[in-house]
Amino acid sequence: MPSARAKLRAVVDPPADDVSDPELVARALRGDRRAEEAIFLRHAPGVTQMADRLLGSETDAEDVVQHTFEVAFRRLEQLDRPGSLRAWLLSIAVRRCHRVFRRRKLLRLLGIASHPEPDTLIDHLASGSSPESRAELALLDVALTRVPEKERVAWMLRKVEGLSLPECATACGCSLATVKRRIQAADTVVRAHLEGSR
């Protein structure tokens, strides 16, 4: 078990890329700490990126990612299909993000909004991006504020993070049909906004 001061050795000595997720999961279940580190190193950046963009707050995102991996290592034996490790990790993170959203909503309702306005997608845009990209993303940011939370999350997983539809379904904790419906619903709002702005 890593201590609070544990160093991520795999950062300087990364595992071979050809070690598959199922193999790493099997090793981690046998108590191999290097395998846990390798799982973290391979998947934490993706989970962090997703949480950053969904939540718009690096601090909240870090809490979510920490929680995600703590839960994941504790419940690793519950992972039915080790090949879908990424989607499973994202599903834990997405559930936690929803809790953050709920909390923010409630706090706003109570008039206690201690968080500054969350970052938007445009805050994540690479420097040197074209003015067209910047303009598109600014429109998307506005459009997404009009999309209900669950639909927005599904849409972002698909369109921003580039997850496959089955991965989106797993991450959102719903069926393939439901996730398709959510993405479609969000897409309709986004399209309408983009077209209305041209």
Partner 1 sequence: MSAERHGLPDRIGDAMVARTSPERMQRIWRGVGGLREARRRRRDVAVRAGGLAVAAAALLALGYFGGRAVSRDPTPAAQTAAPRGEIRFAGGGALPVSLAGERVVELDDGSRVSLAGARVEVVENGADDFVMTLHEGRVRYAVRPGGPRAWWIECGLATVRVVGTRFELERGATSLRVTVDEGAVSVRSHLIEGGVRILRGGEEVQLSEPVTPPADVSVQLPVEVEAADAARARAMGWQRMAERGDYERAWRVLGERGIAERTPTASAAQLLALADVARHSGHEEAALAPLERLLDRYPEDPDAALGAFTLGRIRDRRGQPRAAAAAFERALALPLPRSLVGDATARLAQARAASGDAAGASAAAADYLRSSPNGPRAAAMRALASPP
Shortest distance, position 135 Cβ to partner 1, whole Å: 7
Shortest distance, position 114 Cβ to partner 1, whole Å: 5
Out of 103, 118, 148, 164, the only residue in the binding site for partner 1 (CB under 8 A) is 103
Encoded one letter per residue, x for contact with partner 1 by CB under 8 A and - for no contact, window 151-180 reads: --------xxxx------------------
HSE-CB at 173 with a 13 A cutoff on CA atoms is: 11
Out of 30, 127, 177, 196, the only residue in the binding site for partner 1 (CB under 8 A) is 127
Closest CA to 86 of 58, 48, 60: 48
- Encode 109-128: b = buried (16+ Cβ within 10 Å), e = exposed: eeeeeebeeebbbbeeeeee
Side chain identity at 97, as an amino acid letter? C
Closest CA to 90 of 137, 142, 119, 53: 53
Shortest distance, position 147 Cβ to partner 1, whole Å: 13
Closest CA to 179 of 191, 163, 192, 160: 163
Q: Which residues in the 14-43 window bind partner 1 by CB under 8 A?
A: 37, 40-41
Shortest distance, position 74 Cβ to partner 1, whole Å: 7
Cβ contacts of 85 within 8 Å, gap of 6 or more = 21, 22, 24, 25, 39, 43, 79
The Cα–Cα gap between 90 and 162 comes to: 13
- Matching residue, tokens 């429109």: 139
Q: Which residues in the 137-156 window bind partner 1 by CB under 8 A?
A: 137, 140
In contact, 35 and 28? CB cutoff 8 Å: yes
* Under rule CB under 8 A, residue 106 binds partner 1: yes
Out of 13, 19, 81, 133, the only residue in the binding site for partner 1 (CB under 8 A) is 133
Out of 6, 118, 164, 166, the only residue in the binding site for partner 1 (CB under 8 A) is 6
Shortest distance, position 35 Cβ to partner 1, whole Å: 14
- Matching residue, tokens 């995102």: 61
Binding residues (CB under 8 A) for partner 1: these are: 1-8, 11, 37, 40-41, 44-45, 48-49, 52-53, 58-59, 62-63, 65-67, 69-70, 73-74, 99, 103, 106-107, 110-116, 121, 124-127, 129-137, 140, 159-162, 187, 190-191, 194-195
